[in-house]
Amino acid sequence: MKQTADQLTVRKINTVIVLETLRKLAPISRAKLAKATGLNRSTISSIIQSLADIKFVRETELQLDQIGRPGMLLTLNPEGGFTIGLEINVDYVSAILADFNGQLRRKLYRSVNTKMPQHEILMTAVRMATTLVELGQEQKLPFMGMGIGLPGVTDSIAGKLVFAPNLGWRNLDIGQLFFKEFNVPILVENEANCAALGEYRYGAAKDVRNLIYLSAGVGLGGGILIDGEIFHGSQGFAGEIGHMMIERDGFLCACGKRGCWETYVSPNVVIENVRKSLEQGVVSSLTPLLQRSQYALTFRQILDAAEQGDGLALAALTQLGQDLASGLGNLVNIFNPAMIVIGGALTQAGHLLIPAIQKQLSGQVLAAEHTLVQLLPSQLGVDACVHGAVALVLDAVMRDPTNWLT
């Protein structure tokens, strides 16, 4: 019995290795797959047949760029199933339908606000997901599961939202709610963690196994990947970097504490600082906007003004970069990441912020001349979280492919 169990364990491990290799290197021949994995040809053939039987793998075109008999190339089968990636954030709900390769097939977006009742926002998300599920089922694809990204502390094991300060939500069993609606595995995660995973699988940080993702919107979130896995900490609450204390008696944060990093580095803070300067008479091309209405000023307008050389806008973004670097220096010294991805609403300002951050970081990081950390703007932009939510499900499928659909 033990020998049989050991053989099944080895088979499962080898299957995971084959799937991950296909994920990274496909299309690929059986011979090259055997070489890349270190498995023998007969093992490869047996595993590929099993995966083809459940429609996870398919043969594509002939490999013609070699001497001798051409072989069929292998790839993951996009028709193997579909996944829903969902993000519920402070001012919007976003959802995508993706195939087994993680490729986008359809996206939906709805604006919401914190004045709306919790139930109304949740039902908006359910209706959006239902629309996408029906579309996937029309294409006769198996529904593999749903990943949900949320802006707060989550318990990913229990599938619960613990606390989302900017939404004002606490102790929400969102995994159970969506399971009752759809009867498939529901994976719940912090939105910044999802975004970090999305950039790792499909974006700017593809295959960079140690990275920090920084997401700024209404608040400031952070996702940390260590050796290609989300770092959750002992109880699953790691990554709430926006609530690092930067100043002991600083600004009041939505979490109830003072001096949190996110109260210094959000786009809304930049808007407020620029507005105050304009009211004090600082000369700027943005002045007419404020004269029109104190609510007319947007982060995009400040960014546009900075790109045109406006002194006030440039100073505001430089200050933002320095304040971002103050926190990032701590994170680099602690985690020593290979890459930092700047995401969320700050993505659009990355080309202006990153030089300021790099300049400030060089004076804050120990052994800076030996610490090689790359700073890049998000490649997936506002869709990083929903793509990461898809990756949550696909990663789980890859870890246990033969049992996932049973």
CATH number at residue 10: 1.10.10.10
Check whether residue 313 and residue 400 sit in a common domain. Answer: no
Integer-rounded Cα radius of gyration of the chain: 24
Q: Closest Cα partner for 209 from 196, 200, 217, 199?
A: 200
Q: What is the CATH number of the domain that holds 155?
A: 3.30.420.40
Buried b (16+ CB within 10 A) or exposed e, 311-348: ebbbbbbbbbbbbbbbbbbbbbeebebebbbbbbbbbb
pLDDT at 3: 53
Contact 198, 385 (CB under 8 A): yes
Check whether residue 48 and residue 114 sit in a common domain. Answer: no
Helix runs in 60-156, H state only = 118-138
Where is average pLDDT lowest: 208-212, 234-238, 265-269, 278-282? 234-238
Check whether residue 287 and residue 303 sit in a common domain. Answer: yes
Contact 217, 152 (CB under 8 A): no
Would the pLDDT of 67 be above 60? no
| Rounded-to-integer distance, Cα 383 and Cα 398, Å | 22
Single out the residue in 76, 102, 118 at which a domain terminates. Answer: 76
Check whether residue 20 and residue 33 sit in a common domain. Answer: yes
Q: Is 60 helix (H, G, I), strand (E, B) or coil?
A: strand
Check whether residue 375 and residue 388 sit in a common domain. Answer: no
Helix runs in 118-247, H state only = 118-138, 174-182, 191-202
Single out the residue in 76, 107, 131 at which a domain terminates. Answer: 76
Its pTM surpasses 0.85: yes
| Rounded-to-integer distance, Cα 342 and Cα 345, Å | 9
Check whether residue 156 and residue 212 sit in a common domain. Answer: no
Where is average pLDDT lowest: 37-46, 110-119, 172-181, 254-263? 254-263
pLDDT per residue as tens digits for the range 6-60: 888 899 999 999 999 999 999 999 999 999 999 999 999 999 999 999 999 999 8
Would the pLDDT of 277 be above 60? yes
Q: Closest Cα partner for 13 from 32, 39, 33?
A: 39
Would the pLDDT of 382 be above 50? yes
pLDDT at 368: 62
Q: What's the one-letter identity of residue 136?
A: G
Check whether residue 338 and residue 400 sit in a common domain. Answer: no
> What are the residues facing 213 on neighbouring strands?
223, 341
pLDDT band at 211 (very low <50, low <70, confident <90, very high): very high
Overall number of domains in the chain: 3
DSSP string, 225-268: EETTEE---SSS-TT-GGGSBSSTT-PBPTTS-BSBTHHHHSHH
> Using omega within 30 degrees of 0 as the cis cutoff, is the peptide bond preceding 142 cis?
no
Percent of the chain exceeding pLDDT 90 equals 67
Check whether residue 228 and residue 190 sit in a common domain. Answer: no
Q: What is the mean pLDDT of residues 262-269?
A: 89
Q: What is the mean pLDDT of residues 382-394?
A: 97
Q: What is the mean pLDDT of residues 104-121?
A: 95
Check whether residue 315 and residue 245 sit in a common domain. Answer: yes
Single out the residue in 28, 53, 76 at which a domain terminates. Answer: 76
Check whether residue 219 and residue 134 sit in a common domain. Answer: no
Check whether residue 286 and residue 189 sit in a common domain. Answer: no
pLDDT band at 179 (very low <50, low <70, confident <90, very high): very high
Range of the domain at 137: 81-201+384-404
Q: Closest Cα partner for 347 from 224, 216, 220, 218?
A: 216
Q: Starting from the edge strand earliest in sequence, which strands make up the sheet with 339-344, in order?
A: 229-230, 220-226, 211-216, 339-344, 374-377
Q: What's the one-letter identity of residue 212?
A: I
Buried b (16+ CB within 10 A) or exposed e, 46-60: ebbebbeebebbbee
Check whether residue 269 and residue 352 sit in a common domain. Answer: yes
pLDDT per residue as tens digits for the range 334-377: 999 999 999 988 888 888 889 889 888 887 787 666 567 899 99
pLDDT per residue as tens digits for the range 132-166: 999 999 999 999 999 999 998 999 999 999 999 88
pLDDT at 1: 47
